[in-house]
């Protein structure tokens, strides 16, 4: 009990100033980004109209993970979140692995978002190289994150609001096209079956699209991380989680359903990211300036995701530092309660993406493949930690659980099986196996790092004990 309390207390000092309203929008902002606006094109290329099923499966997995994480976050509201829970309920190695893996995966995700920003800007400025936009916007967002968390929350709230309003308007516009409201004719739903049926690539295509779809929901766990800076986590976290689940599910499923209904899936889909299917819908409808406006919205979405991911990575690094798993300077806070050093270190993904985008045209795909491996591994550890949490939480938490995940442990085991299946599929897919080639050595490297760190701590402890005995 005392040991677990110490693990939580060591991460104090962060400013608790985020409201429930901000938590909800930050969660949506973290999840609605390039995974939906750009990655959906790759998913459509795999599954055709069946991509709707792919996103339903991915949403189902995300909901299981979110309710498990919400249950633990309400009991232990801390910046280290799932990394801290893995340390408390599994073992210190698991906490070390999950935090460093998540940090690395999100740093890479920041790089992927940064590359996407450059691609969006080429819609208006095709002659300016991607890397220049990547670097410029990256520096700007580092400065935003370096300010107080309340400012971050407010900025991210409006970033997310732009995305939500845009998606709602996109859905309304799409429905008007489908049913001919205000237009000379209705598009209807014939595109669902025109080109080789609803499942042109069979269930295999649907399952492959889940790999891209799952990344679209990667980032929803930010609500649990913000628990360490929430004004009232016991009320704010459950409310934010439930609201976010409903909105994300509707936004994703309805948007994808409209895209594959309005334009042929072969036109909307792609095996490499070259443009957004959302923009293609407006271009095909001939609405003047609409495509440019939507491209601006999508640009905002990518910047928003970069912003929240930078927040996430800095808090993970802060947590590692406070646990003596990273240099102590990473755990230092500014006068506004912001881990500035951790933010600057976590912005490395922008520099990596800038260099890669200059020399490798498929940078976006590779970066996201690697990031998905890390994300799925983290989600797996969250579910496993939750199984252990339920068995032992009563030892140091005497009150009834404020939030309880439904159908426990049945849904948790279903989630573990589905995520494991995705990891296995990635290993045998030419498009995604690069994630394994980097992911597995990474896990081994981090494990070696943990062993070295543990041995160093043991030697230091013995040295201090001997000095005390001599006195």
Cα–Cα distance measured from residue 161 to residue 153, given in angstroms and rounded to the nearest whole number? 12
d(CA 42, CA 48) in angstroms, rounded, equals 10
Q: What is the DSSP string of 172-196?
A: HHHHHHHHTTTSSS--TTGGGTTTT
pLDDT of residue 166: 86
pLDDT score, position 1: 44
Helix 410-427 with 433-470: angle, nearest 10 deg: 120
Print pLDDT tens along the chain (471 aa): 445 556 556 666 666 677 777 777 777 776 777 678 777 888 999 999 999 999 999 999 999 999 999 999 988 888 788 998 999 999 999 999 999 988 888 887 787 778 778 888 988 999 998 888 888 888 888 888 887 787 788 888 888 888 888 888 889 999 999 998 877 678 889 999 988 899 999 999 999 999 888 878 887 888 788 777 777 777 778 877 777 777 777 888 999 999 999 999 988 876 665 567 887 888 787 777 777 887 888 788 888 888 888 888 898 888 888 888 888 899 888 887 889 999 989 888 777 766 766 676 565 556 666 677 888 999 999 999 999 999 988 777 778 888 889 999 999 999 999 999 999 998 888 878 888 888 888 899 999 999 998 888 777 656 565 555 555
Distance CA 378, CA 373 (A): 9
pLDDT attached to residue 51? 95
Spatial distance between the Cα atoms of 421 and 460, rounded to a whole number of angstroms: 42
Instruction: Using alpha carbons, select from 218, 217, 243, 216 the residue that is nearest to residue 19.
Output: 243
Give Cβ neighbours of residue 105 (< 8 Å, ≥ 6 apart): 370, 371, 373, 374, 375, 378
Q: List the beta bridge partners of residue 18.
A: 230
Question: What is d(CA 338, CA 14) in angstroms, rounded to the nearest whole number?
Answer: 7
Structure tokens at 46: 């795999």
DSSP 439-451: HHHHHHHHHHHHH
The per-residue pLDDT for 57 is 95
Please report where in the chains the tokens 């591994």 appear, as a residue: 377
3-class secondary structure, 274: coil
The pLDDT of residue 90: 93
Q: What is the pLDDT of residue 319?
A: 86
| Separation CA 163–CA 167 (nearest Å) | 6
Contacts with 12 (C-beta within 8 Å, 6 or more apart), sequence order: none
Query: Which structural domains are found in the chain, ordered by start?
Result: 2-470 (1.20.1740.10)
Question: What pLDDT is stored for residue 399 in this prediction?
Answer: 81
**Cα distance between residue 286 and residue 99, in whole Å:** 47
**Assigned token pair, 203:** 């269930």
Q: Are 42 and 313 in contact (CB under 8 A)?
A: no
Return the pLDDT at 64: 94
> Which parts of 90-171 are beta strand (E)?
none
């Amino acid at each position: 009990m005392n040991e677990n309390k110490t693990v939580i207390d060591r991460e104090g000092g962060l400013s608790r100033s985020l409201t429930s309203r901000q938590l909800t929008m930050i969660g949506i902002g973290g999840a609605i980004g390039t995974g939906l606006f750009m990655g959906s094109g790759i998913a459509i290329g795999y599954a055709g109209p069946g991509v709707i099923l792919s996103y339903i499966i991915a949403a189902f997995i995300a909901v299981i993970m979110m309710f498990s994480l919400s249950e633990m976050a309400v009991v232990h509201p801390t910046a280290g979140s799932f990394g801290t829970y893995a340390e408390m309920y599994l073992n210190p190695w698991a906490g070390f692995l999950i935090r460093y893996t998540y940090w690395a995966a999100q740093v890479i995700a920041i790089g992927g978002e940064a590359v996407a920003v450059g691609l969006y800007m080429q819609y208006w400025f095709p002659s300016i190289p991607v890397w220049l936009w990547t670097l410029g916007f990256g520096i700007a967002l580092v400065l935003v994150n370096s300010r107080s968390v309340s400012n971050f929350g407010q900025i991210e709230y409006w970033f997310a609001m732009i995305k939500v309003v845009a998606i709602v308007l996109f859905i309304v516009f799409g429905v008007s096209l489908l049913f001919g409201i205000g237009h000379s004719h209705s598009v209807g739903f014939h595109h669902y079956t025109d080109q080789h049926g609803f499942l042109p690539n069979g269930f295999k295509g649907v399952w492959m699209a889940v790999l891209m779809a799952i990344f679209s929901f990667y980032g929803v766990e930010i609500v649990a991380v913000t628990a360490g800076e929430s004004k009232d986590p016991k009320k704010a976290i459950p409310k934010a989680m439930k609201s976010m689940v409903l909105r994300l599910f509707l936004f994703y499923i309805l948007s994808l359903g409209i895209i594959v209904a309005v334009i042929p899936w072969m036109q909307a889909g792609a095996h490499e990211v070259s443009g957004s299917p959302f923009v293609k819908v407006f271009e095909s409808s001939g609405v003047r300036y609409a495509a440019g406006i939507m491209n601006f919205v999508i640009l905002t979405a990518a910047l928003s995701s970069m912003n929240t991911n930078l927040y996430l990575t800095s808090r993970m690094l802060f947590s590692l530092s406070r646990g003596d798993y990273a240099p102590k300077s990473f755990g230092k806070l500014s006068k506004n309660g912001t881990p500035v050093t951790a933010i600057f270190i976590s912005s490395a993904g922008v520099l990596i993406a800038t260099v890669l985008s200059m020399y490798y045209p498929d940078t976006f795909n590779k970066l996201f493949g690697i990031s998905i491996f890390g994300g799925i591994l983290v989600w797996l550890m969250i579910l496993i930690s939750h199984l252990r949490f339920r068995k032992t939480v009563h030892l140091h938490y005497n009150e009834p659980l404020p939030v309880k995940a439904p159908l426990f442990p049945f849904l948790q085991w279903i989630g573990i099986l589905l995520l494991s299946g995705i990891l296995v599929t990635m290993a045998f897919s030419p498009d995604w196996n690069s994630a394994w080639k980097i992911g597995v050595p990474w896990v081994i490297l981090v494990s070696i790092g943990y062993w070295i760190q543990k041995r160093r701590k043991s030697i230091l402890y013995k040295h201090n004990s001997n000095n005390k005995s001599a006195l």
